[in-house]
Each structure stands twice: as structure tokens, then as C-alpha cells.
Amino acid sequence: MAGSSYGKLFQITTWGESHGKALGVVIDGCPAGLPLCEADIQVFLDRRKPGKTKISTPRKEADEVEILSGVFEGKTTGTPISLIVHNTSQRSADYSEIANYYRPGHADYTFDAKYGFRDYRGGGRSSARETIGRVAAGAIASKILETLGIKLTAYTRSIGPIAIDDTKFDFQALAETPTCMPDYEASKKAEAYLEDCMKNYDSAGGVIECKIEGCPAGIGEPVFDKLDANLSKAIMSIGAVKAVEIGDGTQVASRRGSENNDAFTIKDGNVTKVTNHAGGILGGISDGSTILLRAHVKPTPSIFSPQQTVNKQGENIEVSIKGRHDPVVVPRAVVVVEAMTAITILDSLLVNMSSRMENLSKVYKNK
Amino acid sequence: MAGSSYGKLFQITTWGESHGKALGVVIDGCPAGLPLCEADIQVFLDRRKPGKTKISTPRKEADEVEILSGVFEGKTTGTPISLIVHNTSQRSADYSEIANYYRPGHADYTFDAKYGFRDYRGGGRSSARETIGRVAAGAIASKILETLGIKLTAYTRSIGPIAIDDTKFDFQALAETPTCMPDYEASKKAEAYLEDCMKNYDSAGGVIECKIEGCPAGIGEPVFDKLDANLSKAIMSIGAVKAVEIGDGTQVASRRGSENNDAFTIKDGNVTKVTNHAGGILGGISDGSTILLRAHVKPTPSIFSPQQTVNKQGENIEVSIKGRHDPVVVPRAVVVVEAMTAITILDSLLVNMSSRMENLSKVYKNK
Amino acid sequence: MAGSSYGKLFQITTWGESHGKALGVVIDGCPAGLPLCEADIQVFLDRRKPGKTKISTPRKEADEVEILSGVFEGKTTGTPISLIVHNTSQRSADYSEIANYYRPGHADYTFDAKYGFRDYRGGGRSSARETIGRVAAGAIASKILETLGIKLTAYTRSIGPIAIDDTKFDFQALAETPTCMPDYEASKKAEAYLEDCMKNYDSAGGVIECKIEGCPAGIGEPVFDKLDANLSKAIMSIGAVKAVEIGDGTQVASRRGSENNDAFTIKDGNVTKVTNHAGGILGGISDGSTILLRAHVKPTPSIFSPQQTVNKQGENIEVSIKGRHDPVVVPRAVVVVEAMTAITILDSLLVNMSSRMENLSKVYKNK
Amino acid sequence: MAGSSYGKLFQITTWGESHGKALGVVIDGCPAGLPLCEADIQVFLDRRKPGKTKISTPRKEADEVEILSGVFEGKTTGTPISLIVHNTSQRSADYSEIANYYRPGHADYTFDAKYGFRDYRGGGRSSARETIGRVAAGAIASKILETLGIKLTAYTRSIGPIAIDDTKFDFQALAETPTCMPDYEASKKAEAYLEDCMKNYDSAGGVIECKIEGCPAGIGEPVFDKLDANLSKAIMSIGAVKAVEIGDGTQVASRRGSENNDAFTIKDGNVTKVTNHAGGILGGISDGSTILLRAHVKPTPSIFSPQQTVNKQGENIEVSIKGRHDPVVVPRAVVVVEAMTAITILDSLLVNMSSRMENLSKVYKNK
């Protein structure tokens, strides 16, 4: 397996290149009986679409999803759901030049090193368009999680040096700002920062955060398939991510135990925690409090200022990337982080169903 | 599968509880023909042993490994290698008290939430003793990597607020300091810091770094099984880790593209990079330069100062943890990080063998 | 995972229903650098097409394959190959009646029992049209095997009571007869038998055989993933198959050891066997001689004579199946058996690449 | 993965060689809360022990199982169960001679072809002693199935030409006869036949049958992981098995559809079948009636009469196998077939838990 599948029971397999005929995903293991239509998925895909504002690429990508299988009379059948998005706006001419050299910060060189050659059009398989399949599958996972009372919220924490103010967290801002920041003021500043980047033919990075509320305690496997381990893989598998944090993340390393431990307490008859430095996961298993993760995203490698690199003939050359590129990928990657998180949480919930003898009785004796 | 297995072709399965009869690992998929004896493995296990210095638990753990299968006449046979370490020094009495309450920062509560009950002796399966199997398997993976010219070095970057000075990196210090810091001066300061923690019935966290040198370009799969995604899972699956970084990690988020891109250049006829912000991985695939990762480790949750928590009867109580605990797990976790990294790199190398038609010819036509 | 994926390194995932928009397959793990075009695949799909002769359903199925990804400039790129076949000739009206009852010998009842409801149009996911994806993937696997000198031949051994005469094995007959029998005379008799079945509103079963020549010795894993175990799963996963034999199969049970053992001998300097009762596999690993397997296929369950069954209201009823059905599925299933065998052999070859230290050197030191 | 693991959620990994220090199995994914002790497992292992009668090898194998992990206070904890059986009676001297040649019908040659060398003592990893781990794991699976009202019965259907009479099926005979035949008369004849084989320095094969009663309808996945496909792999992965049948198996190929279809009927308000040619599985999914499978076992390849073979120097030689060997493996393999069946059925039940939205609610809303 060349690693285009993810998930143990809710398994997704993505396929497609940036400038091929289409991109898509096959979801195997979606429980039967979920009401599902294309609009449920399209709303997620629209969140990753470019071309909405001046801070994203002017490329128009229709990215309309079509359900090819696995849904009958408006409900999932339990068999594979095949989703397809046709490529429509790709201009291959933009990319023909890069066939012969290796763009810094891109996977051109490593694909050649691995496979001997590559589909160079728009990055081919290494293009961020691959995430279309992830987002489409994530829409379905999210819909199932909702039925169990589990709610995900992903948003931009920072772009370049501009971060949100947690005390001003505003869901409407999250829905409306082009940055996906839940803070109008920070978003304005970030937009100004991005305009400055663009003016300088440069690009920016940032931080995405995702909260999972309502996840029951007891989800995740205690050793290699820890919930945080699986989340880390899911998030780090997104193109430009270079670091993943759970809960207080990097901050824990310089703390003392007395500062970092979360005291347990009884609240309304339930076990709960006074603080949540752990980010909702203890020993790889959810503890019932809010799960929190953060992804650190590098600046878009495609910049218009001249760069040193090499060509396939082994010569040092200087290049200036052309084409239509986002000055920052963070806002469009927010829904990708949310999707990968949803898929991971759902898969863990499904795997966990068989963890206790009493769950077997619930399913097989009630039938 | 309850997630006690890791790896696709070099697959390890660990088992055992802190206070059970023994712990171990089964390694399936180790190539045949590798010279292997118990000493090769013991040297790795000795690096994670406690009781060597005053900054680690006074528990004596013999942790002598025995090869039960998979090796014949001094060489691996290609069949499963079963390794066992008998538990000898466990004093269950130390732990009987914790059966009834949930230690803050530990997995006691989440195990109960998942399984309905737990082996409470010394943390049972959630104990750091589980990593014995990982380290033993990592010793074998490292030995194979060595034959391919791939060398791993893991070390302590920081403990609490005390970090090493990169310009003073010293392999002898790494081998000799009780902190596993490759810097004598920093180590001395860290020891003093830890003594202060202990004096205050408290504990410390830290950062572990791992470098992989000599990994060929082209290793790792481009989508979900990205080399950095798999490494993140591997490292985050280690007990106390709360954040993982690749290359410059969290720093990339506030940089501009022009600062973060690594220019390619030709050196001695080979494609190489002028800088290595990416940490040796582009698009999930190794680029031939040094791979670098960092794990952020939380302070030991077992502290002797009194803490608030709840018991199984649903009452708020105050507890003081007893027993023999490390004031910091970082120095002992260094070899665990190295082991999980070695296993991941080797597994990626094995999976990558079938990535090109020409590799098939090399193996099957030369036979 | 709901089991729509097969293979460890050469992994195929099929999707699609009989009367949905399309059917397809995603192949992940195909080595890069294989010349591939749609015609390579279409020739296999044409072998499973119905409507060619009077002994198959008069349904016309165009079944034209389209490559959506994974091929660039005429060669596989190493990334997922997505193949699609649009459904064009489906007449759902034919099937609306069966929505309410359970056809004997079909999966209508078991799908309802598993999922709570089903896509009843033409059997939905349980339709033999699902095998389109398998055959398309098998075409690619076969092309790779050819480059390694491995050749597969599948054919009809018997239909109803009519069997081929091995001494008259004729490749031209195999290519030309509507029964896929490599024996013109037997085929004529089988055709007459099938006409008799049709006249009586009845159907027939039969036996398919597959030979693999040129497979090197040493392929297959010794315990659960024995080559014959994996082949058995692959073949038994084809709809109507009820028994699988390797080599002399069921005959071995009544033999004595002295009759069944294959003596080894040296021929042209190589280890070879005097006989091949074992069918080319010893201890789950190929021995270098011809691998032979047999699939026993049940008669088509869709027959026009009246049958007893029950409806969803829990009433006993009598039904007469309508529609366009093959009187025997064997000739069309021959290429499905060949495809599943090719996929299994190729996957075993890829997994086996990492079985020896010396293979690692071949791939990584020659780079 | 070198294929020593089996199962998706109830995953077993076996290890150990015939003449190594020990053999064992790690079971990952056993639901928590099952009462379990060594006696539960030992009773299964005792059924595969040799040395009980004159028709089995005079080797004494104590084969006492020890639970090393995963059980606490008499119940499974949900974490890996590690089981070990120490090798005690192995006489390596018996086997030293075979180091240099390839025994006909054994895996000596294929192991060398695959790995370059082999542990030749008693067949090493290819020894039937590998099944100890399977049987131990099967005992646990069977215990879980029992709690769900699912009962397995495996027995010898025939040895050489001697078959049982179904009308005389007798559970007491099954428990008492050395042949594991549920028919005293047939067993007597089979014993006489075996004595004749032994007198002629020869061996016999036979057929094992397994019935699964009480399995709910709806278990198994519809495409590659069909219940019968997984059972076929499980059974064919047992050393000497050369054919697997489901239900009427090979007989279906020569039948007409009207003879082979099982009519549905309502009985006591439930959907049931008038006949069971299908062996309880339709479209890869259980239909609620008795599941029936048959394994065809080859005669023991180790026979004392002289045989032609080759040595590692490439010379044709004549050999006479020495040592202590069963004249037939069928009676001892009965419990292995039962164990592999139990593991497969249980794993399918666990995977099936997530097949419907309503099952998710049962597990997560009732919590």
C-alpha cells in the first residue's frame, strides 16, 4: 500500500492529481443509515475553495462534488461511498516550465528521487488539491459525529506574527473573515500583513487550532494507536504542517509537574478536570474534556521573488515561480484540519465499540 | 486490533504490564540474515534503565532481554522474533492504594472509562515499562539501518528551562551525562534544576531531539503515510509526549516563504540543500539531508506534593503519590524516541522497495 | 474498514453498485514506471462482458474503462490509479419488484440483515458487476507479472457434468469458445447442456482452473499469509465460488503419503519436482513449479422457474425471477479468477522483496 | 509484515519454532471483562496434544500454557494477552540430518528459497507446533462466542477412504475416539486403516468438518472480506490443508440452480431456509442458518519409506525420514480448524459492530 488510505474501520482512500481529469475519495466503512446528499459535502468543500478574496489565489476552482456510489434513497448503504470532483480550471501551461527544475520547498525533487519521474503539472499528486478527498470524507465523518453530540471547531490561531485574542473568540467572525480567524480585529491585521507579503513577492505561514467538544471519555487505544498519536499523524499528513501540539503542547516541557497536572474533581456527579493542560487526552485515551490540537503551517513555498535551485541537468539556476498561488494556505487548510480530525475521532469511536464485553451484548443481544 | 502493533512490513507488537510476570515484543517482518544476539539488544535496554543516578528512580530494574524465537545460528531467520523481559523488582504493595482513586496526569481514569476497570499496579499497561518492547525492537531496526549507512542520534535538548548549547555538541557528553545531554555544562545545570524539583516534591519536563543521518532521498509515501506523519505518530505514541516538531517545527509559522524555503544546490555532483529548515523531508518524502525531529515531554505526573483528585466512589479527595518515581522522564525516554524513529525509518525503507518497476527487476532478475 | 480493499502493498479498493452511476477501482501501490494505457485494461474487461453469445445474458454492457489518475505520459507514476466504468445499460425497472422479497441464493436477505436495508436494483453492491474493478486491477497486475516472466492462464474446466479433456488442451479453443473451455469438443457439449438448462428455465455451475507459470520459488509468507491461504481468500471472495482447491486439492485426503509426496530432483542444475501434486506451493511458499488452483462455482441463482421465498412482510410467497440473466456465470468469471490470482501473486512478490537483508542491499546500494 | 498476524480487531500474532525455547501468541483486541484463566486455554491445547494413542506420535509434549499479560483479577483487561508454551520434549538430534537435504512434501526447500537458510530443527517455523498459538487464541475466541450463544463443533469427517455416517453423529464418540470421529464404528475402521499405513511405513490424509451454530444473520463483509473468503484463508493457512469447501462445496458445480437454491420460508415468525446448500452464507454474509465448512488435509509428508530427493549440494539422493511422526495429522488438526474458525467468526462480529448507525447509538447513548 502506497499510503493513500487512512483509517482502520472508517477508511478513506484518496486519488487524483492537480491537473488530471478529476480527484476523488472512496470511503469504505461508513455505517449504513446516515442521511446523506451532495449538499452535506459541498458545504465543506466550499470552505476550502480559493478565489473568494484577495488573500487567496485568483484561480477559480468549481470543485463540485458528485456521489457515485454508496447512497441509496438518501441514506448511506454501508458500502463504499465514491466521491468525485472534476478538474475544470487547470491551466497546465502555467506549469510546463517547472518540469525541468526543482522548486524550493516543494516535493518536486523528492518525487523524482522516489519514483524516477513525476507528474509535474501543478505539483501532480503533491498538490494541495489532494485534500479535496479528505475534506469530502471529513464532511461525512462530521455528520456522524454530530449525531453523537460531538462538535468540532477549527480556526486560524495566527498568521505570521498576528494571533487571535482568545478572550474575543467570536463564531461569527470565524464564519465571515477571509482568514478564518474568530476575531475580527486580528483578522484585519492579518490581512494587512498578507498584503505586505504579497507586495514583497513573499508568503506567510500560521497556526491552526481545532477543538473537539462532546467526545465521550474512553476513546483511543493505549499504546501505538493513542488518540493523540493518531491525530498527530492525521494532521502532520497535511501538506505544509511542520509541528503538531496536543493541549498545552510545547509549553509543557518547561513546566513543573505541579503546574501541569490537571486535578480531577466531581462536578454534577461526573468526574471532570479543574484545568485542561492535557488537551482532553490522558494516556492516549480521551478523558471527556475538550480535545485541543494545534497545527503549525509553513509559509507557501511558491513565492514570486527569485530563488536559487537546480535543474534536472544538475545545474545551479535562478528561478522565479509564476502562476496563481495563495500567499498563505492557512485559511483554506482550516477545513482540512477539521476534516482529518473528524475522520480520526470517528474511526477511534468505531474501533472502540469492541473494547468491552458489555458493548458486544448491547449490539448483539438487542438485535 | 487494539493498537498494540506498529509498522506495516517491520511490524512490532508489544505486550505486558508494569507488574505482570513479564513484558515483551514480537517483531514480524525482520529481514532474514541479520547477525543478532541478545547483547545487541541489551545495550539499548540498558540506556533506558533507571537507578543509575540520583536523578532517576531508585527502583532497580534488571530488564534482561531473552530472545525466544526468530534467530538461528546467530542470524535472523525472517520469522517472528519474540523478545521477553521478566519483571523482577516490582513491589505491588506500593501501588495498592491507587486502586481506588485517579492520579492526576495519569491514565487511571481514562482506562476505567474505556475498559470498565484496570490493572492498577504501577499503571499496568499504561506504565512506561511498556516501552521496553519498543526499545528492544528499535535496537534491531537500528542495526539494520547501520548496514545501510543510516545513523540515528537522539539526545536531551532541554530539561525544564535548561537547554543545551548547539555549538558545544559533544558525543562524549551525550554518552556520559545522566541527563543524556550532549553538553556537560548544560547537564550540570539541569541536574541542579532537578534536585531543586525533587526538594520541592515536584518534577520536570523537557525536550528530546533526534537526528537521522544518511537516509537516502525518496523514502516515505506522499499522502497519509508521509515520513513526517508516520514519525509524528511514532513519537506522539510515547507516553508523556505532547508536541512533535519536524525540522524548524513551530518556528515556521511566523516566517515568510523567502526565509523558510531551502534553496537547492549542486554539491559534488549531487542535489543538496543550502539550508535545512524542512528537517530533511519535503512533501512527506526524505530529501537526502539530515532528518530532524523534536519531542516535547511533560513533567512526570507522579509528584509527592499533595494534589486534589477524586476516588471511584465519586468523592473529592486529596492525595500524595508515594512510590519510586523519576523526577524527569526525559533522559530515559531519549532511547525510546531513538527506537521509535529507527523502526519508522526502517519500515518506510522496506515499504519503499516496491515503489519502482526497476527495483522489482533488481530483486527478481538478480536472483 | 468494510472490506472493499484487498492487498497489502498492491492494494485495490473497489466501489460501485450494479445500477448506480458508475463502478470503479482505486489501485494504490502500483510501482512507478509501468507503461499503461486504457487498452491494456479494456482487453481484460472485454473478456468479462456479457452479450457475446446465446449462452450469456442479452444485456449489453459497454463497460468502457477510463483512467482518471496515476498515469502520466503513458507510464504509472506510483500514485493511486483511479479507474472508472460508467453504467449505461441498466434498466432499473426490471428490478423494482424484487425490492420487497428475498431471492433464493442471492444476498438480498443477508444485506437487509446486516445493514437494515439495501440498494435492491440489480443486486446493488452484491451484483457481479462489482468484479469490474477487480478485473481492471488484475489487468495491471498481469502486465507487471509479465515483465517478470510470470504467466497466468485461467479457463473453464467444467460446466455442469461436462469437463474438458486435459490431453486436448488448446489455447486457441480457450480464446474462441463461448464457454472459455480450452477444448472445442467439450465446449460444444457444454453449450448443448446450457441450452437444455435454459429451456428448462434453469441454470448451471462449473469449475474454473488457473495456472501460474514462471513464479520464482520463495514467494508467500509461512504462517497466516501463506500464498495458498491468500489465493483461497482471493478466489472465495468472488461471488458464486463455494470451494477452492490448490494442486490436487480434495483428492489428497484419501491418498497415502507415498502417493502424494512430490519427489525433488535436479534438472538442468536446478531443484525441481518429479510430480506436482502440491500445486506449486509447499508450506505456503511457492516452490518454483506451476501453481494450480481450482474454483467451484455454483449455478446462477436467478432462474425463471417458480421458487418459494418470503417477502419483507414475513409472508411465504412464490416468485418467478425476471430480467436478463446468464444461465451460467463460469465463462465470464474465468477472467475474474485470473485477475484475483494476478493481484495476489503480485502483492506477494512485492511483500517478499523485504524478506532478506541481501535484497535491501540490491535496492539501496545500487541506487 | 511477514504474515504472522491474523485478524482485524481480534488480532493474533504467533511466534516460535518447533525446537526453539518456546512458542506463543499475542492476542490484541480481546474485549475487556471476559473471565479467563489458564485452564480455559489448556483444555483446547490438550485436544491438540500428541502421544495419547498409538495412532499419534509417541513424542510427549507437555504444552502447558502460561498467561503472561492482559488478565487481571481473573478478567481480561482489554490489553494484549501474551501466552507462552515452553518447549520441553524436543530432541534436536533427531533432526540434525535433515539440515542438508529437502524433505519431500515439506517446506525445507521453499524456506531456503525465500530466506536463504532455515532453522531446520523439526521444521522450525514451518512445524505444526506453530498452531499452538492459534489453538490458545481460539480457546479465548470460543469463550467469547459462547457468551453470544454461538457454538462451534469440529470433527473428523474421514481418514483415508473411511468416512463417518452422518446419521450416526454422536457427540460422545467425538469426545472419546482417538480419531475425533463422531462415529464409533467409522473410528474403529479408520484406526485399522491407520495401522495398515504405519505397517507400510506410510501415512494418511482426511477431511475435517466444522459447524457453527447460533451465528446471527448479517455477519461478514460483502466484497473481499466475505465471511467465507476469510474462513477460507483461515483454514487454508493451516499447514496441510489443500482444499476448502463452504456448505455443499465442490458438489454445487455440477448442479442446476433449481437444485442448489435454498428456498426461504417463515418459521416461528423468523426468516429461515428450507435447505442449507449454501452452508449458512449468502453473498459473503451469514444468513442465520448453520455455517458449515470442510478442510481437506493431505497425508503426513514424513513417512519412513525411502524417497527420492536432493541435497543442498545439488545431488539426487535417497532418504528415509526418521523421528517420531503422526501417521495422520487430521485428529490433532480438528481443534486447529475449530480455533481458526472461532477467531474468524469473532473478528467478523467485532468488525460488524460498526456497520449500522443504530449500533453506534446502542453503544454510545447507553453509556
- Confidence at residue A209, expressed as pLDDT on a 0 to 100 scale: 98
The type of residue at C148 is L
Q: Collect all residues with Cβ–Cβ distance below 8 Å to A39 and sequence separation of at least 6.
A: none
The pLDDT of D64-78, averaged and rounded, is 97
Residue pair B61/B89 in contact by the 8 Å Cβ criterion:
yes
For the stretch D171-183, what's the b/e string if a residue is b when 16 or more beta carbons lie within 10 angstroms of its beta carbon? eebbeebebbbbb
- Chain B's closest residue to D24, CA to CA, is B82
- Confidence at residue D359, expressed as pLDDT on a 0 to 100 scale: 97
| Residue D93: pLDDT band with limits 50, 70, 90 | low
DSSP D48-115: H-S-SSTTS--------EEE-SSEETTEE-SS-EEEEEE--S--GGGGGGGGGB--TTSSHHHHHHHH
Give the bridge partners for B162, in sequence order.
B159
Q: Which residue's entry shows cell 460483502?
A: D222
Per-residue cell: B233: 505518530
Quote the ipTM score. 0.96
Cα–Cα distances (Å) from A106 to A92, A156, A305, B222, B274, in that order, read 17, 23, 15, 12, 15
CB contacts of A79 in chain C (<8 Å) are 2, 4, 15, 17, 119, 124-125
Q: What is the pLDDT of residues D103-123, one digit of tens each?
A: 999 999 999 999 999 999 888
- Confidence at residue D279, expressed as pLDDT on a 0 to 100 scale: 98
Q: What is the pLDDT of residues C262-294, one digit of tens each?
A: 999 999 999 999 999 999 999 999 999 999 999
Q: Which phi and psi (to 5°) does residue C221 adopt?
A: -105, 145
The type of residue at A274 is V
For the cut 60, the answer to whether the pLDDT of residue A92 exceeds it is: no
Q: Using CA atoms, how far apart are residues D177 and A20, in angstroms rounded to an integer? A: 66
Q: Which phi and psi (to 5°) does residue B5 adopt?
A: -115, 150
Residue pair A367/D22 in contact by the 8 Å Cβ criterion:
no
DSSP label at residue B75: E
The type of residue at B4 is S
The Cα of A206 is separated from the nearest Cα of chain B by a number of Å equal to 4
Per-residue cell: C76: 504509472
For the cut 70, the answer to whether the pLDDT of residue C6 exceeds it is: yes
- Confidence at residue A57, expressed as pLDDT on a 0 to 100 scale: 66
CB contacts of C28 in chain A (<8 Å) are 1-5, 13, 15
| Residue C50: pLDDT band with limits 50, 70, 90 | confident
Q: Using CA atoms, how far apart are residues A226 and A243, in angstroms rounded to an integer? A: 18
Indicate yes or no: CB of C357 within 8 angstroms of CB of B144.
yes
Q: Which residue's entry shows cell 512445524?
A: D127
CB contacts of B111 in chain A (<8 Å) are 222, 283, 285
The least confident of C81-85, C278-282, C295-299, D88-92 is D88-92
Domain, as residue range, for C345: 5-365
CATH number at residue A20: 3.60.150.10
Average pLDDT over chain B reads: 94
Sign of CA dihedral D334, D336, D337, D343: positive
Residue pair C130/D305 in contact by the 8 Å Cβ criterion:
no
CB contacts of D144 in chain A (<8 Å) are 357, 360
CB contacts of D115 in chain C (<8 Å) are 218, 355-356
The least confident of B237-246, C134-143, D120-129 is D120-129
- Confidence at residue C98, expressed as pLDDT on a 0 to 100 scale: 82
- Chain C's closest residue to A12, CA to CA, is C1
DSSP label at residue B298: P
- Confidence at residue C54, expressed as pLDDT on a 0 to 100 scale: 67
The least confident of C114-123, D26-35, D289-298, D339-348 is C114-123
CB contacts of C258 in chain D (<8 Å) are 200, 202-203, 303, 305, 307
| Nearest alpha carbon to residue D117 among C358, C291, B82, B351 | C358
Sign of CA dihedral B34, B37, B39, B45: positive
Rg (CA), chain B: 22
Q: Which residue has the higher pLDDT, D83 or D98?
A: D83
For the cut 60, the answer to whether the pLDDT of residue B27 exceeds it is: yes
Three-state secondary structure along C286-354?
A: ECCCCEEEEEEECCCCCCCCCEEEEECCCCEEEECCCCCCCCCCHHHHHHHHHHHHHHHHHHHHHHHCC
Q: How many CB atoms lie within 10 A of CB D21?
A: 16
DSSP D106-124: SSHHHHHHHHSS---GGGG
Contacts A–D by Cβ distance under 8 A: 91
- D263 burial (CB, 10 Å; 0-12 / 13-18 / 19+) is middle
- Confidence at residue A2, expressed as pLDDT on a 0 to 100 scale: 82
- Chain D's closest residue to A144, CA to CA, is D357
SS3 D316: strand
Average pLDDT over chain A reads: 94
The type of residue at B28 is D
DSSP label at residue B356: B
Indicate yes or no: CB of A2 within 8 angstroms of CB of C29.
yes
| Nearest alpha carbon to residue A125 among A234, A19, A21 | A19
The Cα of B32 is separated from the nearest Cα of chain C by a number of Å equal to 5
Q: Which of C105, C247, C356 sits opposite D115 (nearest CB)?
A: C356
For the cut 70, the answer to whether the pLDDT of residue D300 exceeds it is: yes
Q: What is the pLDDT of residues B128-166, one digit of tens each?
A: 999 999 999 999 999 999 999 999 999 999 999 999 999
The least confident of A288-297, B309-318, D54-63 is D54-63
Q: Using CA atoms, how far apart are residues D217 and B284, in angstroms rounded to an integer? A: 44
Cα–Cα distances (Å) from C139 to A26, A94, C38, C45, C363, in that order, read 21, 35, 10, 8, 26
Indicate left, alpha or beta for A291 from its phi (over 0: left) and psi (-120 to 50: alpha). beta
Q: What is the pLDDT of residues B43-70, one digit of tens each?
A: 999 998 875 666 766 666 689 999 999 9
Per-residue cell: D73: 483479577
For the cut 60, the answer to whether the pLDDT of residue A367 exceeds it is: no
Three-state secondary structure along chain C?
A: CCCCEECCCCEEEEEECCCCCEEEEEEECCCECCECCHHHHHHHHHHHCCCCCCCCCCCCCCCCEEECCCEECCEECCCCEEEEEECCCCCHHHHHHHHHECCCCCCHHHHHHHHCCCCCHHHHHHCHHHHHHHHHHHHHHHHHHHHCCCEEEEEEEEECCEECCHHHCCHHHHHHCCCCCCCHHHHHHHHHHHHHHHHCCCCECEEEEEEEECCCCCCCCCCCCCHHHHHHHHHHCCCCEEEEEECCHHHHHHCEHHHHCCCEEEECCEEEECCCCCCCEECCEECCCCEEEEEEECCCCCCCCCEEEEECCCCEEEECCCCCCCCCCHHHHHHHHHHHHHHHHHHHHHHHCCCEHHHHHHHHHCC
The pLDDT of D281-309, averaged and rounded, is 97
The Cα of D180 is separated from the nearest Cα of chain C by a number of Å equal to 16
Q: What is the pTM of this model?
A: 0.97
Split into its structural domains, chain C has a count of 1
The pLDDT of D214-224, averaged and rounded, is 98
- Confidence at residue B54, expressed as pLDDT on a 0 to 100 scale: 66
Indicate yes or no: CB of B22 within 8 angstroms of CB of D118.
no
- Confidence at residue C323, expressed as pLDDT on a 0 to 100 scale: 76
CB contacts of B283 in chain A (<8 Å) are 106-107, 110-111, 126, 239
Indicate yes or no: CB of D360 within 8 angstroms of CB of A353.
yes
Give partners of B (≥3 CB pairs < 8 A).
A, C, D
β-bridge pairing C162-163 and B162-163: unpaired
- Confidence at residue D326, expressed as pLDDT on a 0 to 100 scale: 86
β-bridge pairing C316-319 and C307-310: antiparallel
